[in-house]
Amino acid sequence: MLAHAKTGGLFGTDYSRFASPALPKRKADPGHGLSAGMKVFHNKFGEGTVQALEGVGEDARAQISFPRHGVKWLALSVAKLTVLG
């Protein structure tokens, strides 16, 4: 058996110290409270329906279909949306 087989690398290099850190746990709740199919209101575009959501935190955005203005991608960190009941 070769000497470096036990240590993990040639010349006794310990490669475990180069491992990537563990990823933080992702929250179950996305924080914005939106989901596909929800009806929302935007001050400029009016009522719309959420088609898709992507991203997390400051990068989260929603694709919303507005009957009068078409489909828009809105950054959730800036867009002031009101969920309609």
pLDDT digits (tens, 9 = 90+) for 34-68: 999 999 999 999 999 999 999 988 899 999 999 99
Mean pLDDT, to the nearest integer, of 1-23?
Answer: 64
pLDDT band at 3 (very low <50, low <70, confident <90, very high): very low
CA–CA separation, 61 and 78 (whole Å) = 9
Domains, the chain, with CATH or none: 3-83 (2.40.10)
Residue (of 29, 46, 52) closest to 81 by Cα position: 46
